[in-house]
Structure 1
Amino acid sequence: MKASATTRAFGELVDLPIVVGVDGSEPSLRAVQWAADEAALRGVSLRLVYASLWERYEGMSLAHDLGKPSEEVMTEDIVDTAEWRARHRQPGVKVTTDVLPEEAEYGLIRESRSALAMVLGCRGRSGVTEALLGSVSLTVAGHAHCPVIVLRGRHDNRVRSEAHGRIVLGVVGQPASSAALRFAVEETLLRGATLEAVRAWRRPLHEPRGHPLITGEPAHFEEALAAELVDEALATVPADLQVQRRTVEGFARDALLAASREADLLVVGARRRHGHFGLQLGRVAHAVLHHAACPVAVVPESG
């Protein structure tokens, strides 16, 4: 399923690009390739932006990644290489580039106001890649105005992967109208995949295992409540969508991290709080951004 140049996102017709934050590192170039596939799938343009003060946050590892002395790492190298990757990957996608003469976190957050989604590579500081999320990626994921997709884990840089064919949605009591659900449904339909909705539940410590509430099917009141919340969240999904419902006993972060090992994309919501700057990422979002085995989409929720 391929969208037209003006694609339907979150139930509304939009004509916005997918934005990629590039810094010249290999993880950011893999993000360019992944985003080019996503842009082709949705029928939208791709915008590559380089915030020229990014190196303040990421140290000297960029020069090391490019195999050049730091004084030879030029803006043109970074932007041109990223553009070549995008055009080589998806020749039919319109690509634009821009250089932002400012700190990456502020520039990218501002870019998110006019983006369909933002894609970032995962690169920690001091050359630690695929281990801890870099400060810029974490800040942008927490404050952006559009969904932010961080390429976690070992992936093949392709949107339409045959490895799993599964989009995982973390259900955290969100209503059927939640932006995270709509984004997950849209990604599932575009890819022809299966949507797996996961909700964790925990057994109250004061209840013994022989308590009447934890006998029979479902085995526990909390499990039944979790199943009900999943059903409510999925009440409005299209009838032809392939859906799997899962309730897991334990911590939400553990359930989602386990599900990410067999997923092509993990979607979680981040709720905006009035009187605060941007999004407030909770422990679950922090955990999956740092440790998920697949790309993670953090979707801002309103209210």
Structure 2
Amino acid sequence: MMDIEPHKVLVCVSPGEDCTASLELAAAEARRRGCGVHLAVAVGPLWVGPTGDVDVHLVEGEWRRIGAEFLHECGRRVTELLDATATVSTEIAHGPVVGALVGVSEHAALVVLQHHRMGRTHAVPTLSVTNGVASRAHAPVVAVPDGWGEDPAPSDVVVVGVEDPVSSAQVVRHAFEQARLVGGRVRLVQAWFWSPAFDVDAFGSQVERAQSSALAAQLRHGFADLVAEFEQVPHEVVVVHGRPADVLVAQSHDVGRVVVGRHEPTLPWGSHLGPVTRAVLNHASCPVVVVDPVGRDAAVPRPLGTTPSSRGGHGPGRRAT
């Protein structure tokens, strides 16, 4: 994927898989951002069995042909959804699927993948690639569940999962930028849960109300500067007693998007998503955006016709829920 400005929306597709939802979301994002769309298929290494009887070159060549045909069809469908000035490009990436797609994401503005949610009728959820790309991509990743429709979107609310004002600063910033782009509003959501031994007594009591009120006050104070920078974007602070993953999944049922952060990697292997983000990806009803809170500046461009704020700068970030 070429390093051109503005960076394109990258859509990772796989031959034989439904990609309607991801193509619709990518086209809508490209229209809002005034950029093009780049479609990518990854051709992974082939395992031919212990006998080695299969001609690897023939099999790989056939897979490339199928991938090229599928990319052509996806490109045609995306072109129909875009205006005449937008460009659509395609690429077949070679290597292990996750690593190849992460490499392609280096110059992307946004990465879009479609997946099967857990708990639906599909026998095997297609989350291994989505989770792998989301944990390492160079740009924010949007995981779109099957059956989701961009038009009409269920809501203009962008929910963002908040851990605290320091570690979630960049994640919350992305949520405000996304809401500004779509003309929506932000809901900052923080969930708290001590342990089963104590929370039964706290739930519904004065202790719960006091704890929730104190946490909400901390969030309002901690994000005051950022909120002032996006004064044109309506927002609300919601603090809920409950397990964070359960609370965010429940929020996803009637909003347009959920934004969460991935963990700061301490090792070069293993998942960098964290248990909350992984659970939200598995079960959310709406698209989920996974943001690297310490990665490169992945600012969402402003809608056409708006002017930059007089306030600037990016808040620090280490790790988000």
The alignment's TM-score, normalised by the length of structure 1, stands at 0.78
Give the structure 2 partner of residue 219 of structure 1: 209
What's the CA shift string for 1:120-159, capped at 9, x where partnerless? 010479x96497342111111111121110002642134x
* Other structure's SS at 2:209 match: coil
2:132 counterpart letter in structure 1: T
Please give the alpha-carbon distance, in whole angstroms, between the structure 2 residues aligned to 1:178 and 1:72: 42
Give the structure 1 partner of residue 283 of structure 2: 291
Within 5 Å, give how 1:46-57 maps onto structure 2.
Answer: 46-53=37-44
2:276 counterpart letter in structure 1: V
1:219 counterpart letter in structure 2: R
Please give the alpha-carbon distance, in whole angstroms, between the structure 1 residues aligned to 2:106 and 2:64: 33
Please give the alpha-carbon distance, in whole angstroms, between the structure 2 residues aligned to 1:253 and 1:124: 15
* Other structure's SS at 1:271 match: coil
The answer to whether the 8 A contact 2:127-2:282 is kept is: no
* Other structure's SS at 1:248 match: strand
What's the CA shift string for 1:35-84, capped at 9, x where partnerless? 0110110111211111123998xxxxxxxxxxxxx989712221111101
Q: 2:262 aligns with which of 262, 270, 274?
A: 270
Please give the alpha-carbon distance, in whole angstroms, between the structure 2 residues aligned to 1:296 and 1:147: 10
The answer to whether the 8 A contact 1:176-1:233 is kept is: no
1:20 is the counterpart of 2:8 = no
Q: CA deviation at 1:194?
A: 1.6
Q: 1:139 aligns with which of 132, 145, 166?
A: 132
> Structure 1 residues 208, 143: CA separation in 2 closer, same or farther (over 3 Å shift)?
closer
Q: 1:175 aligns with which of 159, 166, 183?
A: 166
Q: Which stretch shifts more, 175-184 or 80-89?
A: 175-184
> Structure 1 residues 224, 129: CA separation in 2 closer, same or farther (over 3 Å shift)?
same
Please give the alpha-carbon distance, in whole angstroms, between the structure 2 residues aligned to 1:40 and 1:112: 19
> Structure 1 residues 206, 53: CA separation in 2 closer, same or farther (over 3 Å shift)?
closer
Within 5 Å, give how 1:123-162 maps onto structure 2.
Answer: 123=116, 129=122, 132-152=125-145, 154-158=147-151, 161-162=152-153
The answer to whether the 8 A contact 1:154-1:294 is kept is: no
Give the structure 2 partner of residue 67 of structure 1: none
The answer to whether the 8 A contact 1:112-1:144 is kept is: yes
1:28 counterpart letter in structure 2: C
> Structure 1 residues 120, 293: CA separation in 2 closer, same or farther (over 3 Å shift)?
same
The answer to whether the 8 A contact 1:266-1:295 is kept is: yes
1:119 is the counterpart of 2:119 = no
Give the structure 1 partner of residue 50 of structure 2: none
Please give the alpha-carbon distance, in whole angstroms, between the structure 1 residues aligned to 2:200 and 2:270: 42
Please give the alpha-carbon distance, in whole angstroms, between the structure 1 residues aligned to 2:34 and 2:26: 12
The alignment's TM-score, normalised by the length of structure 2, stands at 0.74
The alignment's C-alpha RMSD in Å is: 3.2
Identity %: 24
* Other structure's SS at 2:187 match: strand
Give the structure 2 partner of residue 196 of structure 1: 187
Q: CA deviation at 1:234?
A: 3.2
* Other structure's SS at 1:228 match: helix
> Structure 1 residues 54, 293: CA separation in 2 closer, same or farther (over 3 Å shift)?
farther
1:121 counterpart letter in structure 2: Q
> Structure 1 residues 154, 22: CA separation in 2 closer, same or farther (over 3 Å shift)?
closer
1:52 counterpart letter in structure 2: V
Q: Give the unaligned 5+ runs of structure 1.
A: 1-6, 8-13, 57-69
Q: 2:25 aligns with which of 30, 34, 45?
A: 34
